[in-house]
Amino acid sequence: MEHEITLVVNGTARRARVPARRLLSDCLRHDLGLTGTHVGCEHGVCGCCTVLLDGRPVRSCLTFAVTVDGAEITTVEGLADRDGRMSAVQRAFAECHGLQCGFCTPGFLCTVTALLKENPAPTDDEVVEGIAGNLCRCTGYQNIVKAVHRAAELLAEEA
Amino acid sequence: MKPPPFTYHAPRDLPAALRTLAEVGGKVLAGGQSLIPMLNMRLAAPGHVVDINRVAGLDGIEVSRAGVTVGALARHADVERAGAHPLLTWALKLVAHPAIRNRGTVVGSLVHADPAAELPAVLAVLGGHVRVARWDCGRVTFREIPAAEFFVGPMESAVGPGELAVSAFFPALEEGSGAAFHEVSRRHGDYALAGACAVVGVAGARVACIGVGGGPVVIDVGGDLSSAAARVRDAVDPDDDIHASAAYRRHLVGVLAERALRDAAREGAAARGA
C-alpha cells in the first residue's frame, strides 16, 4: 500500500506517493530527485544522510518518510540563499579545505548549520562533540573543525 | 539495507493506538533509532508497524518534587535540555550523537532494553518505574512496572504483547545525595564496553552497571565504598565479544563503579555542605 505525503523541502511543498517502508533519505533522493543527501551506512552510524527536520539535524536513513508527513525538511540543496550564494558554513568549508572527496560533506554542512544556530561561538570541545556523529575518511577532521570556527566568524560578521 | 515491507498504522490517540496493538500486535515505532537500523539490516521483519508519533499527549516531561515523568514521545534531546534530573541529564549526554538524540526517545530506549544502554541503568539505580497501557474489554487500562521487574533479559522488557509503554518515572535524588555515570566505549557515541552509574546518599550507595549482564546489574553497596569494586566484579557476568574479553569487562566495570561511587559521594558531600 502506498501513502500520499507532503513534505516541505527547502521551503517548497512537495508531494510524493511512497510505501510505508520508504526511508526519508530514499524519498528525498529517488522520489524528489534531491541527490545532495548522501547515503553511506544506512544504519545511523556515518552521518552522511543528516538533514534538518524542523530545524534539527536527524538521520534521514533512520526516519520513515510517512512518519514526517507535513514536516519541514532542509537538505544541503536548501542551505544556499535564494540567489544561489553559498551559506557561511558552505563558504567556510571551501575556504578551509574542510572536504576532500566530498561524500560526507552534505551531512557535515547540515549538522554544522544547526550546531552554529544553537551555539554561535562554540569551543573546540563543543565543535568536536557537535560533529562526533559524522564520519569523514579523508580529512582527519582538522580542517573541518577549522571550518566550523571560520563559519562562526563569518556568521558573526554578517549578522 | 532497505527495510522489509510492513503494514503501517498511524493512530491519532491513545485508545486507537492500543486497539490497533490489541488487534494486529506489531512493533511500536517512536523515535525509531534502534528499530529502523534493525529493519534496515533485516534483523527484524514485523508484519505491522504502529507509528505512535501522531498520538497526542505522549511527549510530556513533567517535573515534580518526587521526580521526573517522561512521556513516550519525549526525545532524548528535549529531556536533556529540560535538565530536570542531574543523573538522567548526565546519562543522556552519553547516548549516541546529537542527531540520534534529536529523534530517539527515552521510553523507547528503556523498552528496547539493550544491556549496554545507559538509560535502563539510570531507571534501575533510581528504582523508577514504567507505566504501560493496554486495551482491555473496551477501555484503556494501565499498570506500573518497577525497574527491578522491567528488564527481563537482553533486548527484552516486561512490556507484553498489545501493551504500550506510555511514560517512565525517574525518582528525584534524595536531598544530600550525589550521582555520577562513567563508561568506556571504543568510539565516542558507541554503546559502552562497560559502564556504571552510582547514587550515594546518607543512607547508603547503589550502583547500576551496563554491558556486563543481561540488563542493568544493580548492586547495593551500603556504606562501605572501599570494597565496592571487588563486589561489583563478583556480581557481574560479562560476555566475550569482538570488542572486549569478559575478563577485561569485569576489570573495567570495577574501575568505573569505583570512580562513579567516588564522584557521587563527593557530590553528595558537597550538597550537604560537608
Is B29 close to A23, i.e. CB distance below 8 A? no
- Residue B250 grid coordinates: 569485569
What is the CA angle A60-A63-A68, rounded to 5? Answer: 105
- Provide the whole-model pTM: 0.96
Q: Helix, strand or coil for residue B135? A: strand
Rg (CA), chain B: 19
Domain boundary among A38, A58, A78: A78
Q: Is residue A56 part of a domain?
A: yes
**Same domain, yes or no, for A53 and A13?**
yes
CATH number (domain holding residue A124): 1.10.150.120
- Looking at residue B203, its pLDDT comes to 85
Count of structural domains, chain A:
2
The residue of chain B nearest to residue A59, with distances taken between CA atoms, is B99
Is B36 close to A58, i.e. CB distance below 8 A? no
Contact predicate B69/B60, CB 8 Å: yes
Mean pLDDT of B224-248: 94
Q: What is the dihedral of CA B124, B125, B131, B134, to 10 degrees?
A: 0
What pLDDT digit, counting tens, does each position of A86-113 carry? 999 999 999 999 999 999 999 999 999 9
Identify from B6, B7, B8 which residue to disrupt to test chain A contact, counting A C-beta atoms within 10 A and taking the largest count: B8
Boundaries of every domain in chain B: 7-51, 61-171, 178-271
State how far residue B46 is from chain A, nearest Cα, in angstroms: 11
Place of cell 508519533: B53
Residue B168 pLDDT > 90, yes or no? yes
> Which of the following CATH numbers is that of domain B178-271: 3.10.20.30, 3.20.20.70, 3.30.390.50, 3.40.630.10?
3.30.390.50
- Looking at residue A82, its pLDDT comes to 87
- Residue B7 grid coordinates: 503494514
What is the total residue count of chain B? 274
Q: Which of A19, A21, A63 has its CB closest to that of B103?
A: A63
- Please tell me the number of Cα atoms within 13 Å of A114 on its side-chain side: 23
Q: Is residue A124 part of a domain?
A: yes
Residue B274 pLDDT > 80, yes or no? no
Confidence of residue B130 (pLDDT cuts 50, 70, 90): very high
First to last CA, chain A: 48
- Looking at residue A1, its pLDDT comes to 86
Q: Helix, strand or coil for residue B105? A: strand
What pLDDT digit, counting tens, does each position of B71-88 carry? 999 999 999 999 999 999
**Same domain, yes or no, for A96 and A151?**
yes
- Residue A123 grid coordinates: 569551543
- Looking at residue A126, its pLDDT comes to 96
Is A132 close to B29, i.e. CB distance below 8 A? no
Q: Does B99 touch chain A (CB under 8 A)?
A: yes
What is the CA angle B250-B256-B261, rounded to 5? Answer: 125
Q: Can you tell me the distance from the alpha carbon of A90 to that of A147, in angstroms, rounded to the nearest whole number?
A: 9
Low-confidence ranges of chain A (pLDDT < 50): none
Q: Does B245 touch chain A (CB under 8 A)?
A: no
**Same domain, yes or no, for A74 and A7?**
yes
Residues of A in contact with B189 (CB under 8 A): 132-133
- Looking at residue B272, its pLDDT comes to 87
Residues of A in contact with B29 (CB under 8 A): 64, 67
Q: Which domain holds residue A134?
A: 88-158
- Residue B55 grid coordinates: 498520538
Q: Is residue A109 part of a domain?
A: yes
Mean pLDDT of B204-220: 96
Residues of B in contact with A51 (CB under 8 A): none
State how far residue B160 is from chain A, nearest Cα, in angstroms: 24
Q: Helix, strand or coil for residue A126? A: helix
Confidence of residue B222 (pLDDT cuts 50, 70, 90): confident
The residue type found at B63 is: V
ipTM: 0.96
- Looking at residue A92, its pLDDT comes to 98
B contact residues 189-218, partner A, Cβ 8 Å cutoff: 189
- Residue A52 grid coordinates: 534538518
Q: Does A133 touch chain B (CB under 8 A)?
A: yes
Q: Can you tell me the distance from the alpha carbon of B207 to that of A49, in angstroms, rounded to the nearest whole number?
A: 38
Express the helix, strand and coil content of chain A in percent, nearest 5 each.
40, 20, 40
What pLDDT digit, counting tens, does each position of B175-204 carry? 999 999 999 999 888 999 999 999 999 889
Neighbour tally for B202: CB within 10 Å: 11
- Looking at residue A40, its pLDDT comes to 96
State how far residue B163 is from chain A, nearest Cα, in angstroms: 21
Q: Which of A42, A50, A64 has its CB closest to that of B99?
A: A50
- Please tell me the number of Cα atoms within 13 Å of B63 on its side-chain side: 8
**Same domain, yes or no, for A131 and A93?**
yes
Domain boundary among A78, A105, A136: A78
- Looking at residue A62, its pLDDT comes to 98
Q: Can you tell me the distance from the alpha carbon of B171 to that of B64, in angstroms, rounded to the nearest whole number?
A: 9
Tell which phi-psi region holds residue B136, choosing left (phi > 0), alpha (psi between -120 and 50) or beta: beta
Contact predicate B185/B158, CB 8 Å: no
Q: Which of A20, A62, A115 has its CB closest to that of B33?
A: A62
Domain boundary among A40, A57, A78: A78
Query: What class, spelled out in words, does domain B61-171 have in CATH?
Result: alpha beta
Q: Which of A3, A19, A58 has its CB closest to that of B99?
A: A58
Is B102 close to A57, i.e. CB distance below 8 A? yes
Q: Does B45 touch chain A (CB under 8 A)?
A: no
Contact predicate B55/B12, CB 8 Å: yes
What is the total residue count of chain A? 159
Q: Does A121 touch chain B (CB under 8 A)?
A: no
Question: Which residues are bridge partners to B209 per DSSP?
Answer: B196, B217
Is B37 close to A44, i.e. CB distance below 8 A? yes
Neighbour tally for A51: CB within 10 Å: 30
Q: Is residue A19 part of a domain?
A: yes
Query: What class, spelled out in words, does domain B7-51 have in CATH?
Result: alpha beta
Q: In Å, how far from its chain's centre is CA B171?
A: 14
State how far residue B81 is from chain A, nearest Cα, in angstroms: 12
Q: What is the 3-state secondary structure (H, E, C) of A54-75?
A: CCEEEEHHHCECHHHCCCEEEC
State how far residue A105 is from chain B, nearest Cα, in angstroms: 15
Q: Is residue A7 part of a domain?
A: yes
- Looking at residue B188, its pLDDT comes to 86
Q: Can you tell me the distance from the alpha carbon of A22 to that of B163, in angstroms, rounded to the nearest whole number?
A: 26
Q: Can you tell me the distance from the alpha carbon of A45 to that of A43, in angstroms, rounded to the nearest whole number?
A: 6
Confidence of residue B225 (pLDDT cuts 50, 70, 90): confident
8-state DSSP, A98: -
Tell which phi-psi region holds residue B131, choosing left (phi > 0), alpha (psi between -120 and 50) or beta: beta
Residues of A in contact with B41 (CB under 8 A): 43
Pairing mode, strands A56-59 and A50-53: antiparallel
Beta strands in chain A (DSSP E): 2-9, 12-19, 50-53, 56-59, 72-74
Pairing mode, strands B139-146 and B129-136: antiparallel
- Looking at residue B219, its pLDDT comes to 96
Average pLDDT, chain B: 96
